[in-house]
Structure 1
């Protein structure tokens, strides 16, 4: 074939389930930008009309009808351009996840997804049906017939086809068949959730495919916190023959992020001998970017007026505070001060005029002051160190800071129960009771402050605590959202050091010098989390081997023993404590506030990891572990 040059583009879109106005506005903006830049083919993300996170609403026929009506609107915007739009299609009682190709205001066809995501977070087979390879069908909608299936398309003599998200992650991916059919371009519309370092895997997936199949490959992902828990990084990749042509900045605060590249197609296209791989991504930097964008979208899409935080001065609440400050900093860097104000839809015009007079640094601090309210709720068991940690951090980032004590409320509840049971409560006999009442008494006041502000209450539990139930239900688990429940305590501790040294949050110097402690027992006991539980590094290893690697308790024991982390008796004690506490506290995990998915797995029973509330508690399996050294 003679040389053909096509301008290809992919656009990341920040969509919201059922928000037709927002979703179509973003689609229209992407199409208009592509037309202005003389783009030949524009790729939009998977299910971008409805939003990917519609869950069981995909089973409602009316949603499919509404989505198709919007598709017909979009069709009229595609003047002189080919646009690929993600939409679901009903045929009889089956629902298909498709990419619709519109060329110059005409629908050419629908490619249906062949492999459905069904592991981890994904439950696509609940809603959609897989399409068989190499089959093409027809359906009728609103009096018009359309082709659907495993289709090959053509643009100016260049053949192209699709892999839809999960399709590309399978060994027998559609690209294996496309090459033999003369396909020179593969388009991949995706809704690929954020997880630490996942972008490195995705980069290899796309660039290596472009080399192996001697084609151009365009990838476009969703962007932002679409539906509450899942964050999308908005990655756009364009590669050809093993060479990366374009890659965008991930996790941006934009509504639309379009990237384009001019690509030459000919019979003699040069294929890279070696792929140039990028250095591994900095997981500290990317998790802060994901937290920032996740919080921003959650705030604005829930129409909330900022955040309230019970700032204890410990690691978890300190990270939540810094995440809000970083949300403001990154938002202002990406959108500008006035753009950030406009996108929150929280500030009147007079505020915009005021902020316009401030320097960027002043504006960021003032915005944190408007959007984050912190309160330190001390008891007689709290230390001066944690108070200083909380106060200095809040002041350093500009947050509103209150402090009060709750001893009077604790004594009030304690005296009620002592009168009822006719005996005093003691630490020797009522340890858990006396710890928990301190945590629970903190909830009503902080909820009151949250209601007054019209804000979201940040719960501060982390994944390590969730695994063993080391949290007080209706106390420190209280909140509208639990942003860091998807990452473990060891990661959080080193992340805070990184935030201090690399991002310049000097107010973290206090918490970074403290040992994690609930501070619920008398100070003379020198309570720490790891004394109550086990070393966090060990807890995280057990958790991952048990529920990510899915090993039996005796296999976990053998691996820990082989690593030399401790002697056999100590490891047995840790394993017994972990599995016992895990089983006993499933009900707590069921009740946690919504959490962001940040790592390659989570303990969320409503998405990644289901476990029975009632069980045998691994008794037989733990007895087997006890017998291994006899």
Structure 2
């Protein structure tokens, strides 16, 4: 007895794009109805876009949201389907993050969000107030132009549920699923059978497992149908919302949308049987708790969610009669996530900024290599979408490549498309090696980018000569007898000149090729280098956006190893075996510059420091005590103390660099991204005299266990915790 009653939607909305957001919402409702669905739910704040930030404080944002909702209602498209749509609402001069439940041209209920996401990347309490009157509702008086459309002067506003002829629907918003006492528990005990969750959940590596587990758990003990809709795409900021709409029944996932996609509208449907829910709930313990549950106000609507029996189902409707079976959730490996997430983010950024492509300074090292391969991954996704006939992707590709309006061009070859929109450049000096120059050239050939190669020694010499003319002093590298100050200044000027050259070439290369417009410059500093401050302020890590700025060096290496085979790029092997080096100092018979030697710590150690600092919320002393237990079987307490002190000293004294950090794709939970995700000072007592003294005193008392066998599971702890850590939406 299958009933076509459910649908969840992923939309690629754009903050403040009211016209585009309206069109995508309308398209999703149309598709849902064509598939025989009687309930459609969209992502959080889908009318204005989730990432409006302080624009939510502007009355215009709320007013335009009402205008869009009125246009949706007056179109008649909500006839025969219950639609759950998100927008901000000002109730009694208080701004709430709301779901508007509409049906047959009427507003049934306005349900405000009760628990806000207000940490990490989220600042919802800056704009919205939570609804604290649980199980209570009030009258909300509609704007006059909305009254003219719906014929209603007021509608229910608050914590209530929708009662149809044959079932009951309850609303849960994003963060409410992640709270310890989630609303779905109490709603389910009061007889709610269908739960909707509209989300604005961003992508982080390895995060989907957490989300899926919570959705399963929401109905595993309770029973019920759970519809999860999520934003998908870049809506104007560092975050990429990874979609993956889900439908679960009694703890079983029965439908899943794509996690990374170039599509603007994706609708996921499933056919479920309400009798399965009722049978699942027929247990004595659940019934005893339900019998004493507090009552929710029910907004009654004379509408049948189900079709009655299987015989009543329209044969032409694509309702997926087999979808009530258990479904194996598809998870991407972290390497695939890096290949797909930043690539989709780059595509959205490129098409919405109306620019003609990207520019990357290729150093011959693994970071700029990873950035270039992600762009190539984007080109692969574009080619795949074009082959499927995705009209929006083809239209955007034609604009970027400067094709005329009547062009028949279709970007079916990723290398050919890459050559049109992606530009790379190797900027060498006398300190650069033939190996890095060749790696950059051969990588560009392998992915098809438009590549240029130059030597910038004349620029470096000009700056040194200028300095000498003004001061009478000529700076030298350390290997030439110069001081540390001279050595660092000469390294930095090479790095900063590359940034200046990058922007000039990004602005003029399209002109050189007979095209119009400019290119966006991509940065390539990874999250570990930012954490340590191992980058030059305003060097070629300064760019327009950075697709790898939230990814660890360890994960980038794994991604390159994956792409070598998955993308058929044998050249990538040479990047994996190369020693990371900035090539900013002269090489001698006894000295070759190395990143890890310069930093005084390995990239693997940096990942551990980063997770302890941000995720475990450790200061210097607590980090030391944790690492004594984790590393004490192969390092002495005093050695661990020196490593911890060095990390905090370098992190603190370089923290100012994060204030100018290139906006980066957020992918890692220990990102040091300033003023967005990691709110910390940028002027520190960098030697932490009190904290470091306590570390030294404790280290001196502890026994040296470095030659003893490891404790059980010690080596695996951080990998396991990275997988299991709950990243809140």
Same fold (TM over 0.5): yes
Counterpart Cα distance in 1 of 2:421 and 2:238: 21
Is the counterpart of residue 594 in structure 1 residue 663 in structure 2? yes
Match of 1:404 in 2: 454
Task: Give the number of aligned pairs.
Answer: 624
Q: 1:135 to 1:601 in 2, by over 3 A?
A: farther
Q: 1:65 to 1:351 in 2, by over 3 A?
A: closer
SS in 1 for 2:155: strand
Match of 2:698 in 1: 628
- How far apart are 1:268 and its partner, in Å? 6.8
SS in 1 for 2:14: coil
Aligned ranges 1:347-386 → 2 under 5 Å? 347=401, 355-356=409-410, 360=412, 363-386=413-436
Match of 1:53 in 2: 51
Counterpart Cα distance in 2 of 1:568 and 1:262: 60
Match of 1:424 in 2: 474
Match of 1:614 in 2: 683
SS in 1 for 2:99: strand
Aligned ranges 1:502-581 → 2 under 5 Å? 502-524=566-588, 525-533=591-599, 534-562=601-629, 563=631, 564-581=633-650
Aligned ranges 1:258-273 → 2 under 5 Å? 258-266=267-275, 269-271=278-280
Q: Check whether the contact 2:243–2:259 (CA below 8 A) recurs between aligned residues.
A: yes
Q: 1:476 to 1:565 in 2, by over 3 A?
A: farther
Is the counterpart of residue 333 in structure 1 residue 384 in structure 2? yes
- How far apart are 1:388 and its partner, in Å? 1.0
Match of 2:557 in 1: 493
Counterpart Cα distance in 2 of 1:256 and 1:270: 35
Match of 1:439 in 2: 495
Match of 1:603 in 2: 672
Counterpart Cα distance in 1 of 2:594 and 2:567: 28
Counterpart Cα distance in 1 of 2:239 and 2:105: 33
Counterpart Cα distance in 2 of 1:542 and 1:88: 40
Q: 1:203 to 1:337 in 2, by over 3 A?
A: closer
Q: Check whether the contact 1:207–1:275 (CA below 8 A) recurs between aligned residues.
A: no
Counterpart Cα distance in 1 of 2:408 and 2:72: 39
Counterpart Cα distance in 1 of 2:249 and 2:699: 57
Q: 1:603 to 1:141 in 2, by over 3 A?
A: same
- How far apart are 1:349 and its partner, in Å? 5.3
- How far apart are 1:175 and its partner, in Å? 0.9
Q: 1:412 to 1:569 in 2, by over 3 A?
A: farther
Greater CA drift, 548-557 or 305-314: 548-557
Q: Check whether the contact 1:241–1:270 (CA below 8 A) recurs between aligned residues.
A: no
SS in 2 for 1:189: strand
Match of 2:310 in 1: none
SS in 1 for 2:678: coil
Greater CA drift, 540-549 or 567-576: 567-576
Counterpart Cα distance in 2 of 1:322 and 1:260: 34
- How far apart are 1:391 and its partner, in Å? 0.5
Counterpart Cα distance in 2 of 1:325 and 1:17: 27
- How far apart are 1:221 and its partner, in Å? 0.1
Match of 1:243 in 2: 252
Counterpart Cα distance in 1 of 2:253 and 2:268: 13
Q: Check whether the contact 2:430–2:457 (CA below 8 A) recurs between aligned residues.
A: yes
Counterpart Cα distance in 2 of 1:17 and 1:399: 31
Q: Check whether the contact 2:208–2:331 (CA below 8 A) recurs between aligned residues.
A: no
Q: 1:337 to 1:218 in 2, by over 3 A?
A: closer
- How far apart are 1:146 and its partner, in Å? 1.6
Is the counterpart of residue 482 in structure 1 residue 538 in structure 2? no
Counterpart Cα distance in 2 of 1:472 and 1:292: 26
Q: Check whether the contact 1:44–1:189 (CA below 8 A) recurs between aligned residues.
A: yes
SS in 1 for 2:426: strand
Q: 1:308 to 1:84 in 2, by over 3 A?
A: same
Q: Which of the residues 343, 350, 364 maps onto 2:396?
A: 343
Deviations 1:95-132 (A, max 9, x none): 11111111112111111111000111111011111112
Q: 1:279 to 1:331 in 2, by over 3 A?
A: closer
Q: Check whether the contact 2:365–2:575 (CA below 8 A) recurs between aligned residues.
A: yes
SS in 2 for 1:414: helix
- How far apart are 1:156 and its partner, in Å? 3.5
CA RMSD after TM alignment = 2.1
Q: 1:615 to 1:146 in 2, by over 3 A?
A: same
Counterpart Cα distance in 1 of 2:416 and 2:634: 48
Q: Check whether the contact 1:341–1:352 (CA below 8 A) recurs between aligned residues.
A: no
Match of 1:102 in 2: 102
Counterpart Cα distance in 1 of 2:634 and 2:461: 43
Is the counterpart of residue 16 in structure 1 residue 66 in structure 2? no
Counterpart Cα distance in 1 of 2:449 and 2:120: 37
- How far apart are 1:16 and its partner, in Å? 0.5
Q: 1:484 to 1:65 in 2, by over 3 A?
A: same
Q: 1:268 to 1:37 in 2, by over 3 A?
A: closer
- How far apart are 1:424 and its partner, in Å? 2.5
- How far apart are 1:307 and its partner, in Å? 0.1
Counterpart Cα distance in 1 of 2:628 and 2:42: 50
Deviations 1:311-344 (A, max 9, x none): 1010110011001100010122234376333134
Q: 1:170 to 1:302 in 2, by over 3 A?
A: same
Q: Check whether the contact 2:44–2:50 (CA below 8 A) recurs between aligned residues.
A: yes
Greater CA drift, 510-519 or 316-325: 510-519
Greater CA drift, 535-544 or 554-563: 554-563
- How far apart are 1:558 and its partner, in Å? 2.8
- How far apart are 1:12 and its partner, in Å? 0.4
Deviations 1:513-535 (A, max 9, x none): 20111111112221111111111
SS in 1 for 2:698: coil
Counterpart Cα distance in 1 of 2:496 and 2:271: 60
Match of 2:321 in 1: none
- How far apart are 1:61 and its partner, in Å? 1.6
Q: 1:335 to 1:239 in 2, by over 3 A?
A: farther
SS in 2 for 1:89: strand
If the length of structure 1 is used for normalisation, what is the TM-score?
0.95
Match of 2:150 in 1: none
Counterpart Cα distance in 1 of 2:278 and 2:385: 37
Greater CA drift, 148-157 or 164-173: 148-157
- How far apart are 1:477 and its partner, in Å? 2.0
Deviations 1:68-111 (A, max 9, x none): 11111111321221111011100133111111111112111111
Is the counterpart of residue 252 in structure 1 residue 268 in structure 2? no
Counterpart Cα distance in 1 of 2:408 and 2:274: 53
Match of 1:139 in 2: 140
Q: 1:268 to 1:107 in 2, by over 3 A?
A: closer
Counterpart Cα distance in 2 of 1:354 and 1:26: 25
SS in 2 for 1:629: helix
Q: Considering only CA atoms, is the larger Rg found in Structure 1 or Structure 2?
A: 2
Deviations 1:393-431 (A, max 9, x none): 010000011010111111111122233332231223012
Unaligned 5+ runs, structure 1 = none
